[in-house]
Amino acid sequence: MTDAPLVAVLDYGSGNVHSAVKALAAAGADARLTSDRGLIMDADGLVVPGVGAFRAVMEALRASRGDELIDRRLAGGRPVLGICVGMQVLFELGVERGVDTEGLGEWPGVVTELDAPVLPHMGWNTVEAGEGSRLFAGIEQERFYFVHSFAAQKWSLEVQRPFAEPALTWCTYGGPFLAAVENGPLSATQFHPEKSGDAGIRLLSNWIGGLGAATL
């Protein structure tokens, strides 16, 4: 497909991300795993994957200057999608086993351990899609695949007009936590769309379909 939107998957050493590239391609993107700064800045969309510990992901992002690329894209209104720990690091702070790690600070808030009897939260779960969500259009009742012990459990960003209110999607495991956020050009999911079967492909397709839309 020659007109497929170009989606860069940020290659900064965070685990096996080839499944994300394959899922994006299945969803209709020209997906490329890359660390090329020019390609990352020029791409229609940027996906930031993340597995493992908050601190390790932040160290890898800073070492590769991926944090700068994310910030520059968002400053220009260019779409970014974070996945799993790639969502968590968008917040101000991560607290893991008593260790505080500064995040990217794109959103206020703290990522903390889930209050659940069994961790990690691993497997399929339903979500409560946020009002006006584009990501979950047509898949509001589907289940998605999670594997994590930490999450953002509160939302504190106050959005002023004329900017639109973000669409907040919640999930419950022990207590409520943010399963996804759609906030202007910046979106993120705590679950793994690339491991969520047809529903995950549809979600990625919904995101890809909005890459050409104007963002505020």
Looking at residue 68, what is its pLDDT?
98
Instruction: Choose the catalytic residue: 84, 106, 121, 142.
Output: 84
pLDDT tens sequence across 71-84: 999 999 999 999 99
Number of structural domains the chain divides into: 1
| pLDDT higher at 4 or 159 | 4
Looking at residue 170, what is its pLDDT?
98
CA distance 160 to 46: 26
Structure tokens at 84: 């799993």
Looking at residue 14, what is its pLDDT?
78
Structure tokens at 90: 């968008």
Structure tokens at 187: 């979106």
Here the CATH number for the domain that contains residue 81 is: 3.40.50.880
Active site residue 171: no
Looking at residue 160, what is its pLDDT?
77
Active site residue 194: yes
Looking at residue 105, what is its pLDDT?
97
* Residue 215 forms part of a structural domain: no
Q: Give the residue from 188, 197, 216 showing the smallest Cα distance to 207.
A: 188
β-strand pairing of 175-183 with 167-173 = antiparallel
Looking at residue 130, what is its pLDDT?
96
Neighbours of 46 (CB within 10 A): 25
pLDDT tens sequence across 176-187: 999 999 999 999
Any idea which of 75-79, 103-107, 153-157, 161-165 has the lowest mean pLDDT?
A: 161-165
pLDDT band at residue 213 using 50, 70 and 90 as cut-offs: low
Boundaries of domain holding 45? 6-209
* Residue 216 forms part of a structural domain: no
Residue type, 169: T
* Residue 214 forms part of a structural domain: no
Looking at residue 163, what is its pLDDT?
79
pTM for this entry:
0.95
Looking at residue 3, what is its pLDDT?
85
Name the average pLDDT for the chain.
94
Instruction: Choose the catalytic residue: 106, 142, 182, 194.
Output: 194
β-strand pairing of 150-152 with 107-113 = antiparallel
* Residue 60 forms part of a structural domain: yes
* Residue 1 forms part of a structural domain: no
